[in-house]
Amino acid sequence: MTIWEYRKPALNLKQVHQLPGKYFGLKTEELKLLPGDRSQNFLVIDESNKKYVLKVSSAFDRTEELDFENQVMILLKRYLPQYEFPQPLSTIEGRLVAECQINGQNYYLRLLEYVEGYYLSDLKSIPEKLWRETGTLLGKIDLVLQDFFHPGSRRFLPWDVQNLLVSRDRLKYVSEPELRRQLDYCLLQFETLVLPNLSILRRQVIYGDGNEHNFILEKRGPETRLKGLIDFGDMTESYLVAEPAVALTYALMKSDQPELTARQLLASYSRINSLRNEELDVLFYLILARLVISLTMAAWRREVEPGNKYMRISENPARRLLTCLLSQNPEKWRRLFYRACGFQPDSLFLQKEKLLAFRKTHFSPALSLTYRRPLHIVKGAGQYLFDSQGRTYLDCVNNVCHIGHCHPRVVRAVTRQMAALNTNTRYLYDQMALYVEKLLSKFPRRLNFCFLVNSGSEANDLALRLARNYTGGTEILVIEGAYHGNLTSLIEVSPYKFNGPGGKGAPPFVHQLPTPDPYRGIYRGRSEKTSEKYAALAAEIIDRLLSENKKLVGILAETAMGCAGQVFLPPEFLKKVYALVRKAGGLCIADEVQVGFGRLGHHFWGFESQSALPDIVTLGKPIGNGHPIGAVITTEEIARAFATGMEYFNTFGGNPVSCAAGLAVLEAIEEEKLQENAKEVGNHFLQELRKLQKNQPLIGEVRGSGLFIGVELVQDRQTKIPASKEAALVIEKMKTQGILVSTDGPARNVLKIKPPLVFTRENADLFVEKLAEVLKALK
Ligand code: PMP
């Protein structure tokens, strides 16, 4: 146990019973154990029915620290006589701290006056007036303590937010991966946004524990007022702003109107003791810091002291608050804090209009923006995105930040590696072997060779080269509506592009199969029969090519289609087509760029859901959680055949930083069971959407697997005329409701849902609730 992992005494009532008499000349009539964190506290009642608190501290606490606490209580009573603070009483020998020995162990004893009243925590609902009074009292205390110094005030307390980084060590005690991720996210924010600015923050002695169990109330007539404060065991020299940060943390846990409470508490604090801009800038992150400390301490205590319930008293509310705050824009809170303190918040970001003008001047209009009024996103956390104005959006679109925006594991892996080394594949480095070994372990044994590239497009381009080289063929099969990437070679094989606006049609070597869309394709229904019919069309094309003496490269196909409108191929369609392609000497390329890495829930890869075994698999988007990586996985034979004498060199492909990102993604998917989450939340999501479909004629079909879902909007369920205009309106309206979703499909009438895999049931419920409102308002 290290020095800061303090030890609380564990004496029993019998051992303590004679102590008040022996050291303080008090006759103990009644003795009761009180809750306490560091010291063991006892309620002592003497013969005249007067109450006292006996505080027993272990010898781990220095006497200077106990004297420090005593001196502050005395000082506060002197300067703030309108409030009560427990006053230390003298021993028989006239000292404020007694030293005693029990069973060979040293203990320090203090006797404090008991402050009568009841606790703020006793109230079921706390009126705003009382939150204001707590803010005022803490402001006054900090003003009194502004120039106070005591040698005992410099002490290490794990609860002190300035010691947050110590909590990083305790993350290992947090057994739930989701919570661990949230806590690590907060640590990361602290490290990047608070730590570099600590030196400009004011320091002084603070009370440091403004929680509802420490504020004492009294009734005066009809009015309840704040009477005083107890428990000075968390006092220390720290950052002044930690005072309101701690108080706000507890207030937010308790309040059912958190924004109002925060505003009132902070306003009353700053009216007495005004805070500075730089302090308000970090306040939100210090609240998160305090939650991290509470929750990691609780996890640690569970491990070392399974029976100590007191320590875990605020665990559940803390968890709830953490989840709630992480789903809110920190900028909203910063602005709220500024206004509460009477300041006008400055803007931290460039103006949206400026950004728009810049784009117009220097970027091609070919780069489109989403939404009539584009979003200016400045930050992300898990499944949430935050804009420059303080608004929060639930991200239901981004399958690139697969395991959540700014996932701490990836951010840490990338920064650590960037600080150590970034180079290229002409050198040996561990990260590549570690990563590729893990990546290949996710594939059938036959697929055991890997090329690392920088994007899904690059992966598909290389896949085409590999297949052309191996087969010596020229002709390629693709599926109508498919998209495979932005390179010249891929526009040629992407019907989504060459058949779309600005497209020039299919090149002669590209052969399109009709989209095997079970909802609106030329053959319908989700049965193997449907697959057979579509496969027969593929067979026809292949036969024709062979009869024309043309050589097949193979088929390039998504394993569940994204841009085509979240189309799920009928059962074993790919298996059947792959067999035909192979028979004709072609290779089968599975584009997993959209749906790989567990998104489909039931399967890690889309080709598994089709019972198909490809020769080449291409990976992108989710692979690096936003870091640009791509990969091509293939067989030894195909990879070896590519060594024709021409070197394959890719400057960035497979660099150690990318490998670190990729490895972190795979580890997080496993550790946080994100594939399972995709399955469970996805099933729930689909079920709720289907319920909505029952009384919403505009919804033609709800289809999906895991967290890859499509909601197809039609004007009429019989004719299936696409409701394209309505779909465009829906995504605009959903945006104003704080939900980001996009449309796709040839008629852009399919709502495309593919959120980060940390998406929750509550997120799904919110989506369905808002969609119901939006659809209702469309009528
Ligand atoms: N394949 C598929 C199926 C895709 O959806 C995309 C991108 N939307 C790509 C390939 C190309 O990926 P990138 O834009 O990352 O190069």
Average pLDDT per run of 10 along the chain, which is 779 residues long? Answer: 60 94 95 88 95 91 91 98 97 95 93 95 95 98 97 90 89 95 98 95 98 96 95 95 98 96 98 98 98 93 73 79 98 98 95 96 96 97 98 97 98 98 96 98 98 98 98 98 98 98 98 98 97 98 98 98 98 98 98 98 98 98 98 98 97 98 98 98 98 97 98 97 98 98 97 98 98 94
Rounded Cα distance, 537 and 700, in Å:
27
Give yes or no for a contact between 749 and 724, defined as CB atoms under 8 angstroms apart: yes
SS3 703: strand
Residue with tokens 């490290």: 191
Ligand 1 atom nearest residue 595's Cα: 3
Q: Is the CB of 457 under 6 A from ligand 1?
A: yes
CA distances from 602 to 102, 678, 683 (A): 62, 8, 10
Q: How far apart are CA 432 and CA 656, in angstroms?
A: 6
d(CA 441, ligand 1 centre) in Å:
23
For residues 94 and 31, what is the distance between their CA atoms, to the nearest angstrom?
A: 23
pTM: predicted TM-score of the whole model, two decimal places: 0.95
With the C-alpha atoms ordered 271, 276, 281, 284, is the resulting torsion angle positive or negative? negative
What sign has the CA pseudo-torsion 444, 450, 456, 458? negative
Residue 6 pLDDT:
58
d(CA 126, CA 437): 56
Give the DSSP H/E element, type plus range, for residue 709: strand 708-713
Q: Would the CB of 484 count as within 6 Å of ligand 1?
A: yes
At 357, the amino acid letter reads: A
Taking the CA of residue 561 as reference, the ligand 1 atom at the shortest distance is 3
User: Residue 283 and residue 407: Cα distance in Å, rounded?
Assistant: 22
Closest ligand 1 atom number to CA of residue 562: 5
DSSP-derived secondary structure letter, 554: E
CB contact at 8 A, 113 and 52: yes
6, two tokens: 């303090």
C-beta of 750 in contact with ligand 1 (< 6 A) = no
Pairing of strands 449-453, 475-479: unpaired
Alpha-carbon distance values, 111 to 98, 492, 538, 651 (Å)? 9, 84, 89, 71
The Cα 453–Cα 467 span in angstroms is 16
Grouping H, G, I as helix, E, B as strand and the rest as coil, residue 319 is helix
CA–centroid distance, 619 to ligand 1, in Å, is 9
Distance 493 CA to ligand 1 centre (A): 12
Separation of CA 514 and ligand 1 centre (Å): 20
Measured in Å, residue 627 CA sits from the centre of ligand 1 at 14
CA proximity to 107, closest of 196, 19, 218, 214: 19
Separation of CA 670 and ligand 1 centre (Å):
24
Q: Is the CB of 456 under 6 A from ligand 1?
A: yes
Q: Taking the CA atoms of the chain, what radius of gyration do you get in angstroms?
A: 32
Cβ of 404 closer than 6 Å to ligand 1, yes or no, is: no
- Where does 30-82 have alpha helices with state H? 63-79
Give the closest residue (by CA) to ligand 1 atom 2.
Answer: 484
Give per-residue burial for 618-643: e unless 16+ CB within 10 Å, then b: bbbbbbbbbbbbbbbbbbeebbeebe
φ and ψ at 300, to 5 degrees? Answer: -65, -45
- Evaluate the CA torsion angle 188, 190, 191, 196 in order and state its sign: positive
Q: Rounded to an integer, what distance in angstroms lies between the CA atom of residue 328 and that of residue 316?
A: 19
**Which of 461, 492, 593 to probe ligand 1 with, by most ligand atoms within 8 A of CB?**
593
Sign of CA dihedral 13, 15, 19, 22: positive
The CA–CA distances, whole Å, from 379 to 277, 343, 401, 703 equal: 21, 23, 13, 31
Residue 324, phi then psi, degrees to nearest 5: -65, -45
- Cα–ligand 1 centroid distance for 603 (angstroms): 20
CA 369–ligand 1 middle distance (angstroms)? 18
CB-ligand 1 contact for 460 (6 Å cutoff): yes
Task: Give the model confidence (pLDDT) of 315-355 as tens digits.
Answer: 899 999 999 999 999 999 999 999 999 999 999 999 999 99
How much distance in Å is there from the Cα of 669 to the middle of ligand 1? 21
Per DSSP bridges, beta strands 552-558 and 475-479 are parallel
What DSSP string runs through 665-676?
A: HHHHHHHTTHHH
Cα torsion through 405, 407, 412, 413, rounded to 10 = -100
Query: What does the block give as tokens for 175?
Result: 């057994």
β 616-619/630-634 pair status: antiparallel
Interhelix angle 674-694/656-671, rounded to 10 degrees, is 60
> In ligand 1, which atom is closest to the CA atom of 592?
3
Which residues are within 8 A (CB) of 550 and not within 5 positions of it... i.e. 6 or more apart?
A: 473, 474, 475
5 Cβ contact list (under 8 Å, min separation 6): 158
User: Which tokens is 333 given?
Assistant: 């809170």
Spatial contact of 610 and 617, defined as CB atoms under 8 Å apart:
no
Nearest protein CA to atom 13 of ligand 1, as residue: 456
Which residue's entry shows tokens 């039931």? 602
Provide the 3-class DSSP secondary structure of residue 648: coil
Taking the CA of residue 482 as reference, the ligand 1 atom at the shortest distance is: 3
CA of 591 to the centre of ligand 1 (A): 9
Ligand 1 within 6 A of CB of 67: no
- The two beta strands, 203-206 and 236-239, are antiparallel
| Ligand 1 centroid distance, CA of 402 (Å) | 14
436, 445, 452, 451: which is closest to 666 by C-alpha? 436
620 lines ligand 1 (CB under 6 A): yes
Ligand 1, from 488, 493, 558, 594: best to mutate by most atoms within 8 Å of Cβ?
Answer: 594
**Which residue CA neighbors atom 16 of ligand 1 most closely?**
457
Distance CA 753, CA 600 (A): 12
| Ligand 1: centre distance to CA 620 (Å) | 7
With tokens 């869309």, the residue in question is: 517
Which ligand 1 atom is nearest residue 458's CA? 16
Q: Take atom 1 of ligand 1 and give the residue whose Cα is closest.
A: 484
Cβ of 182 less than 6 Å from ligand 1: no
What is the pLDDT, as a whole number, of residue 2? 42
Hey, is 30 helix, strand or coil?
strand
Pocket lining: 485 vs ligand 1, CB cutoff 6 Å: yes
CB 534 within 8 A of CB 570: yes
Ligand 1 atom closest to residue 457's alpha carbon, by position in its atom list: 16
| Dist. CA 562 → ligand 1 center (Å) | 9
Cβ atoms within 10 Å of 181's Cβ, excluding its own? 22
**Comparing C-alpha atoms, which of 293, 259, 196 is closest to residue 392?**
259
Please give the number of the atom of ligand 1 that sits closest to the Cα of 628.
15
**Inter-residue contact 110 to 41 (CB < 8 Å):** no
Q: What is the spatial distance between Cα 461 and Cα 485, in angstroms, rounded to a whole number?
A: 8
Helix (H, G, I), strand (E, B) or coil at 63: helix
Distance CA(155)–CA(61), nearest Å, equals 10
Q: Is 594 in the pocket of ligand 1 (CB under 6 A)?
A: yes
439 token code pair: 């990546």
Distance 178 CA to ligand 1 centre (A): 29
Q: Are 593 and 600 in contact (CB under 8 A)?
A: no
- In short, whether 754's Cβ falls inside 6 Å of ligand 1 is no
Q: By C-alpha distance, which of 514, 515, 474, 481 is closest to 498? A: 481
Mutate to test the pocket of ligand 1, among 457, 487, 607 (most ligand atoms within 8 A of CB): 457
| Residue 568: both structure tokens together | 């799920």
Index of the ligand 1 atom closest to the CA of residue 400: 15
In contact, 585 and 540? CB cutoff 8 Å: no
754 C-alpha vs ligand 1 centroid, how far in Å? 14
In the reported structure, the alpha carbon of residue 485 is separated from the centroid of ligand 1 by a whole-number distance in angstroms of 5
DSSP lists the bridge partners of residue 108 as 57, 99
Q: Supply the residue whose CA is at minimum distance from atom 11 of ligand 1.
A: 485
Cβ-count burial of 89 within 10 angstroms (0-12 exposed, 13-18 middle, 19+ buried)? middle
Question: 428 CB contacts (<8 Å, ≥6 apart)?
Answer: none
Our mutation pick for probing the ligand 1 site, out of 619, 621, 744, 754, counting the most ligand atoms within 8 A of Cβ, is 621
Q: For residue 456, report the distance from its CA to the centre of ligand 1, in Å.
A: 5
User: β-pairing, 98-102 with 699-705?
Assistant: unpaired
